[in-house]
Structure 1
């Protein structure tokens, strides 16, 4: 069965919006003021397209949830929420009759199933990583998924994009577990180095060595 295709307005940004994520944006360009006006009036979604050195070809459909603040000059502070990742099939810049771009997108499929062992390993490393990063996070271990804290885990933009493109929760979980296994020893080593630096200059009580 083919993946669904839809025509979406585009908002290219140097960031990855993950499904389910709440994303706050400050809107100041005329074309995106127009996009938000259209989205608010018509209740339509739009696509945040990941821009690296050029358009990556992937993005996430997002919904405008709330306009938090309207400025006198037309700027906006808005709250959005990520819906579904997509692959860009065509790019019209601008859309007919609009200031902003748009195009056809193909929504990615998603296989949500993972094993119990994978889930427990993921939660174990996730808690340790967040602790080492001093990020206070209370979460339900049963409902947490690969997207839940992805912006808090020290991933590069390119790695976040790689995660977004994966069409299986098991693949995303394995990707993050491997990331944890690489990064946790590095963070611990840095913390140990910081402690050693703090101790320099203080009087030390050293045990005698027997040799």
Structure 2
């Protein structure tokens, strides 16, 4: 069944469960957020990709209004709820400054209880190469959305992941990405090591001919 959502298009992908901080300064979005604060309603962040709206996004709720500035702008924190598909688009909505439209929620098929061992092994390998500890909760579902922003996906790939309804498909998508990116990162680290060695004295054993 279609429902109406006001839209706040952004050049990013927001995922269900994600906490996203926003600075709201445009008049149309100040109107949108003020209405959400007054009514407790939600809004949608459809991804704006390659100068168009490809059709899907994430429903968001405002968690906290942190500060309202003298110029009317505000700092808020939001949380992603559900993935949706745009069925109709009105810009602007009648008697409003912002866009909106009818949407249908995409089904969420949580067909995995825990992350695939191959995925967590690849994540540990990537973060080990980068020497960057990244915290994630293996029990929190869906796991794929927790790490999607932390593995170097392009915006196009992040969007494609958003549109996959099955958690197993999303995790396989991440595995395939990591299998491609880890050898590149490994080679970069080896190159950096060679650069660091260049110019230093080296203890070399004489060669026997």
The two structures have a TM-score, normalised by structure 2, of 0.94
The 4+ residue runs of structure 1 with deviation greater than 6 A are: none
2:136–2:147 Cα contact (<8 Å) kept? no
Give 1:193 deviation, angstroms. Answer: 0.1
User: Any gaps of 5 or more consecutive residues in structure 2?
Assistant: none
Please list, as runs of the form range in 1=range in 2, the aligned pairs for 1:122-133 lying within 5 A after superposition: 122-133=119-130
Give 1:13 deviation, angstroms. Answer: 0.4
Question: Mean Cα displacement is larger for which, 145-154 or 32-41?
Answer: 145-154
In structure 2, the residue matched to 1:8 is: 5
Alpha-carbon distance between aligned partners in 1 of 2:75 and 2:107, rounded to the nearest angstrom: 32
Alpha-carbon distance between aligned partners in 2 of 1:134 and 1:71, rounded to the nearest angstrom: 39
Deviations 1:112-162 (A, max 9, x none): 11386x611111112222333343223333336000021121111000000
Please list, as runs of the form range in 1=range in 2, the aligned pairs for 1:181-192 lying within 5 A after superposition: 181-192=179-190
Give 1:210 deviation, angstroms. Answer: 4.1
Question: Mean Cα displacement is larger for which, 32-41 or 129-138?
Answer: 129-138
In structure 1, the residue matched to 2:28 is: 31
In structure 1, the residue matched to 2:99 is: 101
Give 1:110 deviation, angstroms. Answer: 1.6
Alpha-carbon distance between aligned partners in 1 of 2:130 and 2:7, rounded to the nearest angstrom: 34
Deviations 1:46-71 (A, max 9, x none): 00010012112111000011111111
Correspondent of 2:44 among 28, 47, 68: 47
Alpha-carbon distance between aligned partners in 2 of 1:132 and 1:141, rounded to the nearest angstrom: 21
Question: Within the alignment, does 1:176 sit opposite 2:174 as a pair?
Answer: yes
The 3-state SS of whatever aligns with 1:182 is helix
Alpha-carbon distance between aligned partners in 1 of 2:103 and 2:132, rounded to the nearest angstrom: 35
Give 1:32 deviation, angstroms. Answer: 0.2
The 3-state SS of whatever aligns with 1:82 is strand
Question: Mean Cα displacement is larger for which, 141-150 or 46-55?
Answer: 141-150
Alpha-carbon distance between aligned partners in 2 of 1:125 and 1:143, rounded to the nearest angstrom: 18
Question: Mean Cα displacement is larger for which, 136-145 or 81-90?
Answer: 136-145
In structure 1, the residue matched to 2:60 is: 62
Count of paired positions: 207
Correspondent of 1:146 among 137, 144, 147: 144
